[in-house]
Amino acid sequence: MSLDLAPRPLPLLTADLAGTGGVARVAPEDFLVEELPAYLPGGAGEHLYLFIEKRGLSTVDAVGRLAHALGADPREAGYAGQKDRHAIARQWVSLHTPARAPALDDPSLKILAEGRHTNRIRLGHLKGNRFLLTLRETVPDAVSRAQAILDALGQTGLANFYGEQRFGRRGDNAALGAALLGLGSHPDLARAKRDRHLRRLAISALQSELFNRCLTDRIAAGLWDRVLAGDVLRKRLTGGLFVCDDAAANQERLRSGEIDVAGPMPGHRERLRARGEALAREERVLAEAGVSREAFAAAKGEGEGAWRAYRAPVQNAAVRAGGAGAVELSFELPGGSYATRVLAEVTKADVTLPGGA
């Protein structure tokens, strides 16, 4: 059996606004991401918190170097998320050690601040990320075009798609995830069955592709920013989820930014399920992909169900002209949202950056 689970082109919310064109990430300095932490170190505790700046390194590699310098166990290290290798990235990491920050002579890794805390940093423990991105070789009126697009996204929010990085260099991670569920075949299936990391990556990619297709369906139907009776809704401040039983009242809450409609990351266990028209739309999209919720039982513990907001707020956005005709964009996104989707809206071109930004 062969399923078509390759990532599909993603729709743009600002298709009616002209893009800037241009080239992204000519140099690492063209892509700067700085983590907005959920909290700062309290000042005491058994975990050393380090605010680092890295370039040309993955977060895992950076943590490994720090652990080696401190004689700490990298398995007890913590970070809120992995940052792009091909960029300048600033983020907090934690190590379980009584030592102080090590002295480093490493052009690819700097320590900007340190502190101590009672617990290690957990994945997802961040408010968001601040981005400063430079576009080069843009059209002459790129600044005004970019400003109009970012203003529009500030009003509507960003369609919270997973970026292409999620699906692997060959774009076939979701197909591997389906093969692990007994749906189709894949040349890496035997290896994935032995490799838990690869298995989790593939199942997650499949969930992400199904989410993207559900969001695409809502946009195509003009429903991406509309609340349907039976929708799963997410509170923006706390992340709490509930099923909508009053579409009109919750539409006002969505308009104010208090809540967002959430889309499914189908899995073997779902603590919440949409109802009515919302559920029917999801089930149709999954059926067209050839993947049922029940199929995830074959994941054997991987791929627990979850919900992700269909839109992400774009905050504190600004545009300015850079040197040599470049355009600089700055904005903030929630953790887990992709700056490449903002770049796609701004440039009106496919933009793929290595890593997970």
Residues acting as catalytic residues: 84
Do residues 160 and 309 touch, judged by C-beta distance below 8 A? yes
Place of tokens 């701004």: 346
Do residues 170 and 180 touch, judged by C-beta distance below 8 A? no
Nearest C-alpha neighbor of 278 from the set 316, 228, 344: 228
Task: Tokens for 316, please give them.
Answer: 């504190």
Inter-CA distances, 34 with 61, 78, 216, 229, 331, Å: 18, 17, 29, 38, 11
CB count within 10 Å of CB 60 equals 12
CA distance 318 to 127: 19
Q: How far apart are the first and last CA of the chain?
A: 34
CA distance 147 to 157: 15
